[in-house]
Chains A and B, each alone.
Chain A
Amino acid sequence: MSVRGLEEREGFEGRDEDSGAGAAESPAVPSRPGPRVTWRKLTFLPAFLVAVLLATWLWFARADLDPVSAKALSNGRVSEALWQHVRLTVISTFLVLVVAIPLGFLLARRAFGGGPMARAAGLTGRAVPAIGLLALLVMWLGTGTKAALVGITACAVLPVLSHTVAGLRANDSPVAPGILAGVRTALVLNVGTATLATFGGGGGLGVLIATGITTRRMPVLILGSVLTMTLALLVDWLASVAELLSGPRGCQELDAKKSMQKRCCKGPFA
């Protein structure tokens, strides 16, 4: 399960706020123009990922795997796990967007921010751990992909909804940034939650990790973890690039400021 997407929704709202609002308001800390640093930073990550994958591949090409590890990694099991993971992520993201975007539009239109009831419901909903929700769904729907998909989708709906509404409210006119923010949040969240699908028989890269743990085979464990980490970071990076390409910086700064001011009215402990 990925932490990133939700962190964004909270106050960790990514680079916009920090380089936009924060830097602009602290004269004591002069900041360089954003884009130059950003591009450098953004090419760093793919290079890092390529290096990691290469190192892993080289290691595995040379290593003498014991029979159990070899079996766990043979017969296209790794690519199957990877493919399942991607499928789970994409389908669940689609489902989340279908639910959350229209709802987001509805909620953003009215001033309906939700009274204390809605807030309490939101709090409680977000207090449910993903693995717990997934387990409950498995109890209800049985093991397999269905429970996994419903679980992954359910975990992402509230945060994406919240993010979309905020995005839509901050920009009074253009629709795209709000939706794009939703897509990005959903993708990053889901690629993370999908790692838990294995515990409900839903497949995915988590299978390699879980197998590695239960059979105590480090190669399998490490391969699963490295692949999962790489996929998650890749999705996150792609999402950041998409965000950067989607709108002029000035627009984003302004929006960040506006949305920050709106939230500030409630105070941190609302």
Chain B
Amino acid sequence: MNFWEYLGSHHRQLLTDAGQHASAVLGCMVVATVLGVLLGLATWRSAWAARLATTAGPSILAVPPLAVLGLLIPVVGLGVAPTVIALTLYGLPPVVRHAIVGLRAVDPSPVDAARVIGMTRPARVGLPLAWPSILTGIRGSTRMLMGVTAIAACASGPGLGKEIFRGLGSPDSENALNEVLAGTLGIVALTLLFDGAYVLLGRLTCVERAGLRAGRAPVEREGGGEGVRV
């Protein structure tokens, strides 16, 4: 059957897979963001801790997802567990990085002013100002996690990766191409949707320029940085 027929007859399953894929990424991204911001808050003032956090991160990210999964499976088994742990692991470093850089780039005067008038938690001022930077990290991270989830399907993980592997598993079968296309295009669509949502979120929530220095947090080129080519 051709691709459209395939979509028509399998749409329910595809939508379920897409939903699983999106919720895995979103859920782990939320956890990673919370943990990452906490880590950033804990370390941004100390030069060595911050440097450790921002250099340990790239090392984690340098390890291919398949290897990370391979190390997790003996511990937690197949399925959702290694997927979720791996996703959170991969989601952390960019958020931490951007949180630290964002917090550091914050103009000290609003923070000091806050302190002067009695607000004893400068982070309360610093965080919202660091938010654009953190959001940048989240955005790139999400794209990365979309790909990692796809790979995790080979270890019985959830999501659209299942389609891709099904097609890859029997490349000569009648529906192989349809399956691969459906899985891949589905992930592309999800990624673009998320990206758009983040841009919207950014426009709605970001404090324009206030308190940020000229050379502020590093930003991505070309519409959205990318964690990994997965």
Are B94 and A12 in contact, CB atoms less than 8 angstroms apart?
yes
Known: A130-B147, A268-B135. A3 touches B90 (CB 8 A): yes
Contact of A7 among B55, B61, B188, B223 (CB under 8 A): B61
A-side contacts of B71, CB under 8 Å: 222, 225-226, 229
| Contact code string B189-216 (vs A, CB < 8 Å = 1, else 0) | 0011001001100110010000001111
Are A11 and B218 in contact, CB atoms less than 8 angstroms apart?
yes
- Mark out the residues of chain B between 66 and 97 whose CB falls within 8 Å of any chain A CB in the assembled complex: 66-71, 73-74, 78, 90, 93-94, 97
Chain A interface, DSSP helix/strand/loop, else mixed: helix
Contact of B54 among A18, A143, A196 (CB under 8 A): A18
Are B176 and A7 in contact, CB atoms less than 8 angstroms apart?
no
Are A3 and B44 in contact, CB atoms less than 8 angstroms apart?
no
Chain B interface, DSSP helix/strand/loop, else mixed: helix
B-side contacts of A233, CB under 8 Å: 59, 62-63
A45 to B59, CA, bound (A): 9
- Mark out the residues of chain A between 218 and 233 whose CB falls within 8 Å of any chain B CB in the assembled complex: 218, 221-222, 224-226, 228-229, 232-233
Please give the distance in Å from A143's CB to the nearest CB on chain B: 6
A264 to B101, CA, bound (A): 14
Known: A122-B223, A263-B220. A127 touches B62 (CB 8 A): no
Known: A127-B188, A188-B62. A225 touches B70 (CB 8 A): yes
Please give the distance in Å from B40's CB to the nearest CB on chain A: 13
A142 to B172, CA, bound (A): 9
**A/B interface sample: 6 pairs, CB < 8 A:** A1-B228, A129-B164, A136-B184, A192-B62, A196-B151, A212-B70
- Mark out the residues of chain A between 158 and 205 whose CB falls within 8 Å of any chain B CB in the assembled complex: 159, 162, 166, 188-189, 191-193, 195-196, 199-200
Are B222 and A162 in contact, CB atoms less than 8 angstroms apart?
yes
Q: With an 8 A cutoff between CB atoms, is A90 at the interface?
A: no
